Structure 1
Amino acid sequence: MKKLVLKNDWMGKEPIIRIEFPYDFELKEYVKQFPGCSWDTKKKVWWVTYEDSMLSALLQYFKGKAWLDYSELKKVEIPKKFATLPELDVFLKEEISKFEDWMRNKRYSESTIKNYKGGLALFFRFTGNKSPDIITNEDLESFHKNYIIRRKFSASFQSLIINAVKLYFSNRLKKNLDPKGIERPKNPRILPHVLSKEEVKRILEVHQNVKHRAMLSLIYACGLRRSELLNIKIRDIDTNRGMLLIREGKGKKDRMVPLSGRILELLREYYKYEKPKEYLFEGETIGSKYSEGSLQKVLKTALQKAGIGKPVTLHWLRHSYATHLLESGTDLRYIQELLGHKSSKTTEIYTHVSQKSLGRIKSPFDDL
């Protein structure tokens, strides 16, 4: 009897069942008549959508025609399909636009404005474009339970949405939403990712382009955030004092960070070559900031050239700066100032990844 082999596979995000067999015209003609069966021109295979009842249907259809080997077919958790939310109403778009203007006048950061706009729009769409005047605590509780929790969004996303909605109603409509059914999520303690000094050295030295080397090196040398690097202007560098002024970092706070002789030397080399006019690192247009996307590509290329397979982000360089300072004996209070942390508790997390402190701990296994 002819044989078909059934295997798991995916078509995008949808689970499917592959139907494999050596070419046989009669069998092919019979396979393609199975309801819902399709031919994938790229994978060169016949397939059907995975369902819990599909195996029984296939066994019944091919009974007496072909033997089905389903030894490699595993049970798959079928992704839940959620209803599509309606498009945002024109009136609510205008409301969000006014809210955006209010936040900008209050000097909220552009990233906060973007996140709050998106969060508020999502909430309004979930309510079916209800008028803000008739929205109640129950609507926010329903959104929390039936959208955020059911779709398993993160605790940080949950907090962002709640903050956006409450800010809008308290400041635009002078109406307090304080749902009792929503507990503030407990944020998980996620340890920062840290690279070894050897890995950092490979990343920083692999680029031949002096501009690319200077950008990545400055992030690590001063523990900068991505936006802080891109916002640096030439006037922010005090070469005589060896200091860099970070203007309006996170929380709209300025801070000073020291520039080592080695990083100053690299910046001078870069300046002679590029001669930027306003921003330290400029894009293709003179006087314009270098883009975040291009900076990400600079790092991605460095990782590929250095042969580092870890999913490194620019923020890993900042984490590594702080951890390496701690391991070299720098006081936590100074590290807090250098990083621009509001709370010392934020800085203390680096003690959990420092090799200097953890490395001194002796395992009781060694005494057995």
Structure 2
Amino acid sequence: MLYDAQLVQKGIPKNFRFYYKKWLRYYLDFCQKYNFKQSDKESLSYFIKKLKEKNQTDQQQKQASHAISIYYEILSADRKKEIPFNHKKKILSSKKEYLKPTNADWRPIYSDLNAEIKLRHYSPKTFQSYRGWVRQLQGFTRSKDPQLLSSADIKDFLTFLAVKREVAASTQNQAFNALLFFFRHILKKEFGEIKDIPRAKRKPYIPTVLSREDFDAIITRLSALIRKFDGVFFYIVSPPASLETQRSQS
């Protein structure tokens, strides 16, 4: 792989290379999600800002920046050809895997989506969610002409979410519903029959169990409260003798 070879050439320790490739994958995801050109170095500052918002340490931010700078060097060495984001193939594996986006105009699609959402009085959050999934589908298909999209594209995308991204079952279902709406109301066609899609695994519910120390602390607090209220109750039922004397004299 080109990127692996570049890491070796740069003298990056073997135990660090995994993290460098991880930052590169995150960066490519970021560019695809927010419509940045991967060769546009200005996108790096936005990417690092996003890492900071995600509470990544300064050291992690520096490592990510270095990882992306090595990627830029590969692009420059290859006459600044951009390596489009493609989940079906390994990143930077060989020049034969460089794929050019089709550059179809999707702007009318998003305008129509906005209009359909407003027509049905859906919430702004629903629009943002649906638009996000449509945008991810656009990136996944490399801006394929929307009218040429088929159920096979949807199947590949949903499979990618379950297998590669390992999203939760609820996330995969959300993507399915958003793209179903997109096909029916924007493209004016049906999914067709979609079978054999790997389903995202539902995470088992693990109840929170108190430790022995937590349990003992709760019992201690409860015991103190019980003793306190016992004293109040005893005072009400059996008032002090001095108070009884005052009542009898009055």
TM-score band w.r.t. shorter chain: 0.3 to 0.5
| Structure-1-length-normalised TM-score | 0.29
More strand by share: 1
Which entry has the higher C-alpha Rg, 1 or 2?
2
